[in-house]
């Protein structure tokens, strides 16, 4: 099938199924978009195959997704979250899935790197999903919503930092080589994070941000919103290139570069224009194709080892739920809020699929493990709103695509 025809088939199929799941089943549209790829891919109809060109589009979309996730938060929010109840929730909600992931190495003869990736995908919470979930439920100014966002912020940042270290690990799996790599990459990552903190401090404390507001405003007035968006993308690309030069994946730089482009730095109006353009490019065109591409790579291999599939899916759901619940109880949160928080944090949605796609492309996980992780991502995104409604049946129903990231 020709490239443009492939894009057309994926886009129409993804948008159509995405809207069906959104409007008829009140579910995030990305669930339908992934299933569209599964249907047209080798698992069902076999009319579309993953190609090098589609992989290139997927890489670009990953950049935009992570850029968008970075825009959703500011560094000061991270430090605020670390002082609240969200910290123990994040610690246990991250460490419990990691422990389960590494536990799989003993039962399924997986490499340590595969286990680390599986643990990351189990642990990750998609911050954009959590944000829109909280906003749609009117929890933004309530302790439950603030604790959820605080935990999600910490989990996503730690997960991306760990991902950077894992992806740059040596081919040799000797403990001495692994430890040396972790220490070396940890120092490089700490140095990069220190630079980000320094830049954030300079921008927020020392520079007169009105200068940037006026300069960017003149750029937009003279050249249009598209040029303003180009400037923002260029800034984030610089950070992405910097992390690649350090040997890490570009997603680390894209995330922190997006985080530095705060409302305080560029102004609320210009920030809104950048966010609007980014969402138009991503949500309207590239993201449906990306999630369909994820579906294309899904294979029936996941069902060839049902024990592994069940271990990843059930282990991922239970580990995150129990870990977050324990953290919530240690923070003195009520049982009902602990369960509600655990359910919301199980909404992986985007970030876990991005990590799984990167790991598959790098050869860190097999197609069998990847397909199991896709099922975990779809199932966790699908059941989270249903379980939340059951736990909080006395609250009004909401449109869950409000809880969908700006990528679906």
Q: Does pLDDT of 173 surpass 60?
A: no
Q: Does pLDDT of 85 surpass 50?
A: yes
Tokens of 118: 């599986």
Give the separation between CA 386 and CA 28, rounded to whole angstroms.
12
Give the separation between CA 378 and CA 32, rounded to whole angstroms.
9
Give the separation between CA 206 and CA 305, rounded to whole angstroms.
57
- Percent of the chain surpassing pLDDT 90: 23
* 338 in a structural domain: yes
* Lowest-confidence pick of 239-248, 362-371, 384-393: 384-393
What range does the domain containing 204 cover? 3-403
User: Model confidence at 407, in pLDDT bands (50, 70, 90)?
Assistant: very low
User: Model confidence at 152, in pLDDT bands (50, 70, 90)?
Assistant: confident
Which CATH number do you get for residue 68? 1.20.1530.20
User: Model confidence at 83, in pLDDT bands (50, 70, 90)?
Assistant: confident
Q: Mean pLDDT across the stretch 75-102?
A: 84
Q: Does pLDDT of 171 surpass 70?
A: no
Confidence at residue 99, expressed as pLDDT on a 0 to 100 scale: 92
Confidence at residue 403, expressed as pLDDT on a 0 to 100 scale: 43
* Lowest-confidence pick of 58-62, 110-114, 194-198: 110-114
Q: Mean pLDDT across the stretch 86-115?
A: 87
Confidence at residue 315, expressed as pLDDT on a 0 to 100 scale: 93
Model confidence pLDDT, tens digit, residues 298-313? 877 778 889 999 999 9
Give the separation between CA 67 and CA 277, rounded to whole angstroms.
12
Q: Does pLDDT of 402 surpass 80?
A: no
* 383 in a structural domain: yes
Confidence at residue 211, expressed as pLDDT on a 0 to 100 scale: 64
* Lowest-confidence pick of 157-166, 168-177, 298-307: 168-177
Confidence at residue 406, expressed as pLDDT on a 0 to 100 scale: 39
Q: Does pLDDT of 404 surpass 50?
A: no
Model confidence pLDDT, tens digit, residues 317-362? 999 999 999 999 998 888 988 999 998 898 776 778 888 888 888 8
Confidence at residue 207, expressed as pLDDT on a 0 to 100 scale: 60
Q: What are phi and psi of 159, to 5 degrees?
A: -60, -40
CB atoms within 10 A of CB 228: 20
* 387 in a structural domain: yes
* 408 in a structural domain: no
Q: Mean pLDDT across the stretch 117-133?
A: 80
- Percent of the chain surpassing pLDDT 70: 88
Q: Does pLDDT of 20 surpass 90?
A: yes
- For the chain, how many structural domains are there in total? 1
Q: Mean pLDDT across the stretch 92-102?
A: 92
Q: Does pLDDT of 10 surpass 90?
A: yes
For the entire predicted model, the pTM comes to 0.77
Confidence at residue 208, expressed as pLDDT on a 0 to 100 scale: 56
User: How confident is the prediction for the chain on average, in pLDDT?
Assistant: 82
Model confidence pLDDT, tens digit, residues 196-249? 888 888 777 656 556 666 777 777 777 776 787 888 899 999 999 998 888 787
Sign of CA dihedral 66, 288, 166, 85: positive
């Amino acid at each position: 099938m020709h490239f443009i025809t492939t894009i057309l088939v994926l886009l129409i199929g993804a948008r159509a199924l995405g809207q069906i799941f959104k409007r008829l089943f009140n579910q995030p549209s990305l669930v339908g978009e992934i299933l569209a790829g599964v249907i047209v891919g080798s698992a069902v109809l076999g009319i579309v195959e993953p190609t090098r060109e589609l992989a290139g589009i997927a890489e670009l979309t990953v950049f935009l997704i992570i850029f968008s996730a970075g825009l959703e938060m500011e560094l000061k929010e991270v430090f605020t979250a670390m002082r609240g109840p969200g910290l123990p929730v994040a610690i246990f909600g991250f460490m419990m899935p990691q422990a389960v992931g590494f536990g799989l190495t003993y039962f399924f003869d997986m490499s340590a790197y595969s286990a680390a990736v599986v643990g990351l995908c189990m642990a990750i919470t998609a911050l954009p999903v959590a944000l829109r979930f909280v906003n749609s439920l009117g929890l933004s100014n309530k302790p439950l919503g603030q604790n959820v966002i605080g935990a999600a912020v910490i989990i996503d940042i730690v997960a991306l930092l760990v991902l950077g270290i894992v992806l740059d690990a040596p081919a040799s799996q000797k403990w001495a080589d692994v430890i040396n790599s972790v220490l070396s990459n940890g120092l490089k990552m700490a140095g990069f994070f220190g630079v980000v903190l320094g830049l954030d401090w300079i921008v927020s404390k020392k520079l007169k941000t009105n200068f940037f507001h006026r300069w960017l405003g003149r750029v937009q007035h003279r050249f249009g919103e598209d040029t303003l968006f180009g400037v923002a993308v260029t800034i984030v690309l610089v950070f992405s290139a910097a992390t690649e030069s350090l040997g890490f994946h570009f997603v680390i730089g894209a995330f922190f570069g997006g985080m530095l482009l705060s409302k305080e730095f560029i102004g609320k109006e210009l920030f809104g224009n950048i966010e609007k353009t980014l969402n138009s490019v991503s949500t309207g065109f590239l993201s449906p194709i990306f999630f369909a591409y994820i579906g294309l790579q899904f294979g029936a291999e996941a069902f060839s080892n049902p024990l592994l599939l069940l271990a990843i899916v059930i282990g991922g759901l239970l580990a995150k739920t129990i870990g977050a619940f324990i953290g919530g109880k240690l923070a003195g949160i009520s049982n009902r809020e602990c369960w509600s928080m655990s359910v919301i944090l199980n909404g992986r949605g985007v970030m876990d699929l991005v990590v799984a796609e990167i790991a598959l492309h790098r050869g860190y996980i097999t197609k069998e493990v990847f397909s199991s992780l896709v099922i975990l991502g779809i199932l966790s995104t699908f059941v989270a709103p249903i379980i939340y409604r059951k736990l909080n049946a006395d609250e009004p129903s909401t449109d869950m695509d409000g809880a969908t990231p700006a990528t679906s």
